[in-house]
Chain A
Amino acid sequence: MSYYLDILGNIGIFMILAMSLNVICGMTGLLQLGHAGFFALGAYSAGLVSIYWQLPGLGMVNFIPGALAAMLVASLFAVLIGVPCLRLRGDYLAIATLGFGEIVRLSLQNLYFPAPPALLERGVERIGGATGISLPVNAQYGSWWFIWIFVIITYVLLVNLKRSAIGRAFLAIREDEIAARAMGVNLPYYKSLSFVLSAAFAGLAGALYAHKQLTLHPGDFGLLRTIEVLLMVVLGGLGSFSGAALAALLLIGTREALGQIPYIGPNRELFFALLLILMIRFVPNGLFGLKEFDGVARQLARRFKRAREDEPHG
Chain B
Amino acid sequence: MVEQRESVDRAVNEVRHEFDLLRVDGLSKSFGGVRAVQQVSFSVKRGEIVGLIGPNGAGKTTAFNMITGLEVADAGTIYFDRSYITDLSANQIVRRGLARTFQNIRLLDELSVLDNVKIAYHYHFRYRMMDAMLRLPRFFREEREITRKSMQFLRLFDLADVADEAAESLPYGKRRKLEIARALATEGQLLLLDEPAAGMNPRETEELVEMIRRINREFSVSILLIEHDMRLVMSLCGRIIVMDHGAVIAEGTPAEIRNDPRVIEAYLGARREDGA
- Residues in B with CB closer than 8 Å to A187 are 91
Which residue of chain A lies nearest to B126 when distances are taken between CB atoms in the complex?
A165
Interface size class of B (residues with CB under 8 A): 35 or more
Choose one: A157, A168, A289; the contact of B115 (CB below 8 Å).
Answer: A168
User: Does B226 reach chain A (CB closer than 8 Å)?
Assistant: no
Instruction: Assess the A182–B70 pair: CB atoms within 8 A.
Output: yes
Q: Which of B13-62 contact A (CB under 8 A)?
A: none
A239–B109 alpha-carbon span in the complex (Å): 14
Choose one: A158, A166, A175; the contact of B108 (CB below 8 Å).
Answer: A175
- Residues in A with CB closer than 8 Å to B123 are 184
A290–B99 alpha-carbon span in the complex (Å): 28
Q: Which of B89-142 contact A (CB under 8 A)?
A: 89-91, 94-95, 99-100, 102, 106-111, 115, 118-123, 125, 127, 129, 132-135, 139, 142
Instruction: Assess the A182–B100 pair: CB atoms within 8 A.
Output: yes
User: Assuming the A-B contacts A168-B119, A184-B186, are A176 and B106 also in contact, with contact meaning beta carbons closer than 8 angstroms in the complex?
Assistant: yes
- Residues in B with CB closer than 8 Å to A157 are 133-134
Smallest beta-carbon distance A37→chain B, Å: 23
The CB with the most chain A CB atoms within 10 A, among B69, B108, B115, B139, is that of: B108
User: Assuming the A-B contacts A165-B122, A165-B125, A175-B109, are A181 and B132 also in contact, with contact meaning beta carbons closer than 8 angstroms in the complex?
Assistant: no
A86–B100 alpha-carbon span in the complex (Å): 26
Interface SS, A side: helix
User: Does B251 reach chain A (CB closer than 8 Å)?
Assistant: no
Which residue of chain A lies nearest to B128 when distances are taken between CB atoms in the complex?
A166
Which residue of chain A lies nearest to B129 when distances are taken between CB atoms in the complex?
A166
User: Does B86 reach chain A (CB closer than 8 Å)?
Assistant: no
Q: Residues of A within 8 Å of B, CB-based: how many?
A: 28
- Residues in B with CB closer than 8 Å to A165 are 118, 121-122, 125, 127, 132, 142-143, 146
User: Does A172 reach chain B (CB closer than 8 Å)?
Assistant: yes
User: Assuming the A-B contacts A175-B110, A179-B106, A184-B94, are A161 and B122 also in contact, with contact meaning beta carbons closer than 8 angstroms in the complex?
Assistant: no
- Residues in A with CB closer than 8 Å to B135 are 160
- Residues in B with CB closer than 8 Å to A169 are 119, 122
Smallest beta-carbon distance B202→chain A, Å: 28
Instruction: Assess the B122–A160 pair: CB atoms within 8 A.
Output: no
User: Assuming the A-B contacts A175-B108, A175-B111, are A182 and B94 also in contact, with contact meaning beta carbons closer than 8 angstroms in the complex?
Assistant: yes
Q: Which of A267-301 contact B (CB under 8 A)?
A: 289-290
User: Does B175 reach chain A (CB closer than 8 Å)?
Assistant: no
Which residue of chain A lies nearest to B139 when distances are taken between CB atoms in the complex?
A164
A174–B146 alpha-carbon span in the complex (Å): 22
User: Does A180 reach chain B (CB closer than 8 Å)?
Assistant: yes
User: Assuming the A-B contacts A161-B133, A176-B108, are A181 and B91 also in contact, with contact meaning beta carbons closer than 8 angstroms in the complex?
Assistant: yes
Smallest beta-carbon distance B135→chain A, Å: 6
- Residues in B with CB closer than 8 Å to A184 are 91, 94-95, 120, 122-123, 186
A289–B111 alpha-carbon span in the complex (Å): 11
Which residue of chain A lies nearest to B133 when distances are taken between CB atoms in the complex?
A157
User: Does A178 reach chain B (CB closer than 8 Å)?
Assistant: yes
Which residue of chain B lies nearest to A189 when distances are taken between CB atoms in the complex?
B91
Instruction: Assess the A181–B90 pair: CB atoms within 8 A.
Output: yes
A166–B139 alpha-carbon span in the complex (Å): 11
Instruction: Assess the A183–B129 pair: CB atoms within 8 A.
Output: no
11 other A-B residue contacts (CB within 8 Å) besides A168-B122, A185-B119, A290-B110: A160-B133, A160-B134, A164-B127, A171-B108, A179-B106, A180-B108, A181-B90, A182-B102, A183-B94, A183-B186, A185-B91
Interchain Cβ contacts under 8 Å between A and B, 8 examples: A160-B132, A160-B134, A167-B132, A171-B115, A172-B108, A182-B70, A183-B119, A184-B95
Q: B residues bordering A, Cβ < 8 Å?
A: 68-70, 89-91, 94-95, 99-100, 102, 106-111, 115, 118-123, 125, 127, 129, 132-135, 139, 142-143, 146, 182, 186
